[in-house]
Amino acid sequence: MKRNLHSLHQLLLNKGIAFARFSLPGQTEAKTYVSYLPESFSDLKSIVSIQKEGFVFAPFLVDQEHPIWFLSADDKIETGSNLQSIEEFIEQLPDAEEAWEMDQEETSRNDYAKSFDAFMQALKSSKLDKVILSKIVTKPKTGESLFQLYSRLSETYPDAFSYMIHLPNGKTWMGATPELLLKQDERTIQTMALAGTQLMQNRKIEDILWEQKEIEEQTYVRDYVKKILTGFSKSVSVSETYSVKAGNVVHLRTDFMVNQAFERINVVEMVKKLHPTPAVCGIPVKESRAMILRSEKHKRAYYTGYLGPVNASSMALFVNLRCMQVLSGSYALYVGGGITRDSILEKEWMETEAKAQTLLSVINSNEE
């Protein structure tokens, strides 16, 4: 049998072996971490004592069904890897039992409208200034392999963090997110404040004009992130706010840099304070999160959680946006948008439809 990346990843799926294939923004080649002894936790602090290289996959809200996963990089597959020896070892393992999850129900326009109305009532009573409303868009599965789909996704969005992860419980997720939660190396910490959304509509990035409301929302996220960082260090550098393209939409973004080395326990505390950000919950965060849990019909699961590679001295964690779960007969895409007192139902619905195109356009391109 010819040894190639496609056949190896299909073998991993058939055997139920956990793995994470990913590409950092700007990278031209993806790598895969194969995990024979993955671990699950209820608190990110559990990774402080782990010195191994691996991949973290955390949900929006930790519960029994959705723990924080750490997939140790027991085998690393990248350019030059000996695929034959890895594949021969995996072939000796027993096949996995069928573990596809039942298909998710797509969020109906009526259910979305009900949640929208509940959010608007809370906003008009001044309990909230902004809240993020999400929905699920479903698409029947195509005949192509997940490896082929992921490869096309990463090629389509080279400036995003793209990933495909297969968990020990048989669940599989895939996505391409533009938002960094936190990047740490031996000397620095980096993060960003990403908020505000407009459709590109064939415009140039320099021609994008932002409304005052959008600027204020992004400013709130920027100030929120800055306050957290300055709680850990006084040497926080803040960039100018600028427009950045992400697929067929554009956002406002501010970059942060902390030129200081941190112990792993402090970095973990920083991540816990940053997640969830106002950009995925709302303003204020605590009250918005409670409203989301009450009013959204579906569980967000790993949508708006965070994920990425870690080792003993560094990590790169991204917010899990523009993502989907692979189910028995369909893909369940998760998308959302910010609701304010001035929001209009039709406009917000169409914004989420546009965001869904990040993944749908890649899935559909195989059918053309």
Q: Write the class of the CATH domain 5-365.
A: alpha beta
Residue 74: other Cβ atoms inside 10 A: 17
Domain residue limits, the chain:
5-365
- pLDDT tens-digit profile of 208-239? 999 888 898 899 899 999 999 999 999 999 99
* CA pseudo-torsion sign 310, 316, 319, 323: negative
Contact between residue 169 and residue 99 where contact means Cβ atoms under 8 Å apart = yes
Q: Which pLDDT value is given to residue 40?
A: 97
Report the C-alpha gap between 232 and 258 in whole angstroms. Answer: 9
Distance CA 336, CA 282 (A): 11
| Gyration radius (Cα) of the chain, Å | 20
> Over the stretch 80-135, which tens digit does the pLDDT of each residue have?
788 888 888 999 988 887 665 677 899 999 999 999 999 999 998 877 888 999 99
> Can you list the residues of the chain whose pLDDT is less than 70?
1-3, 98-101, 367-368
Buried b (16+ CB within 10 A) or exposed e, 92-118: eeeeeeeeeeebbebbeeebbeebbeb
What are 330's strand-pairing partners?
140
Which residues, at least 6 apart from 220, have a Cβ–Cβ distance to it below 8 Å?
A: 129, 130, 195, 278, 283
| Amino acid 126: pLDDT | 76
In this prediction, residue 202 carries a pLDDT of 84
What is the per-residue pLDDT for 142? 85
- How many C-beta neighbours within 10 Å does residue 169 have? 14
Q: Which of 367, 368, 355 is nearest to 157 (CA)?
A: 355
What is the pLDDT at residue 19? 98
| Cα–Cα dist 334/324, whole Å | 6
pLDDT at residue 2, rounded to an integer: 44
Determine the angle formed by the axes of helices 146-156 and 345-365, rounding to 10 degrees: 120
Cβ contacts of residue 206 below 8 Å, gap of 6+? 243
What local confidence, expressed as pLDDT, does residue 365 receive?
87
* 41: β partners: 68
* pLDDT in the model for residue 1: 38
In the block, tokens 């031996």 appear at 186
SS3 content of the chain, % helix, strand, coil (to 5): 30, 30, 40
- Identify the pLDDT of residue 346: 96
